[in-house]
């Protein structure tokens, strides 16, 4: 591994994440007693505030297209929809062989079969979720070299098309079918993204950038031939790459672009994303990259294009002490705080562990990306999204750290408070250990608060709605019994909120490391 370039190492880790785990220094794991850290927070209830759209919960990623037909996928989709109200889902593989949309007939002409395409999109729409259509990968009979495949278990074909005439015709036929079935008023609310991470081993064109730009240009023009109302964008690059070059090329060649998309993960490196040698912590990497791309768009020929982060997470590896653990609560709160105002939508990768990039899931908690594990168990990340969903749509100015203060449309105040700490372990094996970091006591002071107001406190953390601790105590069964499954599902449920009195306009909340709280204030 050490001989590989950083970029290729990141690519390989996404296909084989268990091989790429790192171990924290022993000093980071030491347990030491520490005093409670006090933070004073000041909120003016009557402040005007700023609009606060819920960009972090409008879209989620998921396993590849054919998995959307599973009952477990649809169960998890509905669970996350109820918790977050999200609008869009993104997945790979709508053109893969498992969906069977394209083949060449005996007469050498293309034949299109939309049977599973319809079932896939019907299933999403029936549950109140729209498709964010990632256009990929390459149908076998259309590939210039069908042997060009990615390392995922289902082997998506990464080859350019052998004929752009056939590719363009397929894109037009696909779009026309969608418009005929669902109507242009509906399909014009979808997004069409050309390919996935063409700067990594998901695209075999050579040279990568020039051949991807050709693919994008042909695809965008073919979609707009069907209707100028269809929204198309890219480049959907890993490590936030290529955005200035992409926009310059499309402007120079008069190619339609309706939005910009990019990806970053918390353990991407500063060298790969920013091309500089420095350490950027996991908690900051994604939003630092978002800020960079936001600036690049502003300085481009298209300064007002929306930015969609169509993949992100705290890690692209399978690390149970990250994605399965209570760590994700403060991580997600920090992401909302740092990225606000710079991005139209962010798509957490993924909403469910109904997922097969590394093969069929072998155990419920292995560091999968999903909010919901196999067997339908809610992870702390699910509950973190559920709490953050309770924030209002007006953000209030606040004095104090690690807090987001908002007001809902009905006047209720909603504050997110958190205590971030780095992961205690970065190996494939879960370690039930608290971070060596002090608790935080938030002393929240409200001005202009009506007399008789009270607060309701919701919590997520190592001792609140953390299914991993019970699973660990059970001995980590690979295949939980039905009784164990029921117990684990209950353990992952949020507890009812505590009612807290507010005395003289202030209330105190103490959070341990990995703690996330949602404080509702009612007059």
Active site residues: 197, 311
Alpha carbon separation from 512 to 116, 461, 477, 519 (Å, rounded): 48, 8, 28, 16
Beta-carbon contacts of residue 459 (< 8 Å; ≥ 6 apart): 465, 495, 511, 515, 516, 517, 518
**CA–CA separation, 391 and 398 (whole Å):** 14
In this structure, the number of other CB atoms found within 10 A of the CB of residue 359 comes to: 10
Q: CA 95, 96, 97, 103 torsion: positive or negative?
A: positive
> Which residue carries 């760590």 as its tokens?
327
Question: Closest Cα to residue 471, out of 323, 363, 362?
Answer: 363
**CA–CA separation, 78 and 128 (whole Å):** 9
**CA–CA separation, 72 and 127 (whole Å):** 14
Please give the angle made by the CA atoms of 517, 336 and 73, to the nearest 5 degrees. 85
**CA–CA separation, 259 and 191 (whole Å):** 9
Question: At 56, phi and psi to the nearest 5?
Answer: -80, -15
β pairing state of 88-91 and 102-104 = unpaired
Cβ atoms of 434 and 512 closer than 8 Å: yes
Cβ atoms of 350 and 63 closer than 8 Å: yes
Question: At 290, phi and psi to the nearest 5?
Answer: -55, -45
**CA–CA separation, 292 and 34 (whole Å):** 37
Q: What is the dihedral of CA 313, 316, 320, 321, to 10 degrees?
A: -60
Helix axis angle, 328-339 to 380-388, nearest 10°: 40
In this structure, the number of other CB atoms found within 10 A of the CB of residue 203 comes to: 27
**CA–CA separation, 231 and 131 (whole Å):** 12
Cβ atoms of 142 and 102 closer than 8 Å: yes
Residue 509 CB-density burial (10 A; 0-12 exposed, 13-18 middle, 19+ buried): buried
β pairing state of 259-265 and 232-237 = parallel
Alpha carbon separation from 270 to 14, 284, 288, 492 (Å, rounded): 17, 11, 10, 35
Cross-strand bridge partners of residue 415: 405, 519
Cβ atoms of 502 and 453 closer than 8 Å: yes
**CA–CA separation, 312 and 309 (whole Å):** 7
**What would you report as the CA-atom Rg of the chain, rounded to the nearest whole angstrom?**
23
């Amino acid at each position: 591994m050490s001989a590989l370039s950083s970029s290729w190492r990141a690519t390989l880790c996404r296909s084989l994440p268990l091989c790429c785990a790192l171990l924290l220094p022993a000093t980071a794991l030491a347990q030491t007693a520490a005093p409670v850290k006090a933070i004073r927070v000041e909120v003016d209830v009557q402040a005007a505030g700023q609009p606060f759209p819920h960009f972090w919960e409008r879209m989620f990623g998921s396993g590849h297209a054919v998995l959307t037909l599973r009952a477990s996928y649809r169960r998890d989709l509905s669970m996350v929809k109820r918790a977050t109200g999200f609008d869009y889902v993104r997945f790979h593989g709508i053109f893969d062989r498992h969906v069977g949309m394209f083949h060449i007939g005996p007469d050498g002409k293309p034949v299109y079969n939309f049977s599973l395409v319809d079932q896939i999109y019907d299933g999403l729409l029936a549950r109140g979720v729209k498709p964010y259509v990632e256009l990929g990968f390459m149908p076998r009979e259309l590939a210039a070299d069908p042997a060009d495949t990615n390392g995922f278990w289902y082997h998506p074909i990464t080859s350019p098309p052998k004929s752009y005439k056939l590719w363009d015709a397929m894109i037009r036929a696909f779009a026309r079918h969608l418009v005929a079935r669902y109507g242009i008023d509906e399909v014009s609310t979808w997004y069409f993204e050309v390919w996935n991470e063409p700067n990594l081993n998901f695209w075999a064109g050579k040279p990568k950038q020039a051949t991807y730009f050709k693919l994008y240009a042909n695809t965008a023009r073919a979609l707009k031939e069907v209707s100028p109302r269809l929204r198309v964008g890219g480049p959907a690059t890993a490590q936030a790459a290529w955005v200035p070059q992409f926009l310059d090329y499309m402007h120079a060649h008069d190619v339609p672009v309706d939005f910009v998309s990019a990806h970053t993960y918390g353990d991407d490196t500063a060298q790969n994303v920013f091309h500089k040698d420095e350490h950027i912590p996991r908690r900051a990497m994604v939003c630092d990259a978002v800020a960079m791309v936001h600036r690049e768009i502003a300085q481009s020929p298209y300064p007002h294009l929306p930015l969609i982060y169509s993949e992100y997470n705290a890690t692209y590896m399978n690390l149970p002490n990250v994605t399965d653990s209570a760590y994700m609560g403060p991580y997600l709160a920090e992401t909302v705080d740092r990225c606000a105002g710079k991005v139209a939508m962010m798509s957490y990768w993924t909403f469910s562990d109904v997922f097969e990039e590394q093969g069929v899931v072998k155990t419920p908690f292995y560091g999968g990306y999903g909010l919901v594990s196999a067997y339908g168990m809610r992870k702390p990340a699910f509950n973190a999204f559920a709490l953050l969903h309770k924030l209002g749509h007006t953000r209030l100015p606040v004095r104090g750290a690690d807090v987001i203060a908002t007001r809902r449309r009905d006047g209720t105040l909603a504050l997110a408070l958190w205590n971030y700490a780095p992961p205690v372990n970065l190996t494939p094996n879960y370690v039930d250990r608290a971070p060596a970091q002090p608790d935080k006591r938030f002393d929240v002071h409200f001005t202009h608060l009506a007399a008789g107001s009270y607060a309701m406190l919701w919590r997520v953390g190592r001792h609140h709605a953390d299914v991993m601790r019970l699973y660990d105590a059970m001995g980590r069964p690979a295949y939980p019994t039905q009784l164990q499954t029921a117990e684990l599902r209950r353990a992952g449920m949020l507890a009812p909120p505590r009612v807290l009195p507010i005395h003289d306009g202030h209330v105190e909340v103490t959070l341990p490391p990995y703690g996330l709280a949602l404080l509702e204030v009612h007059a």
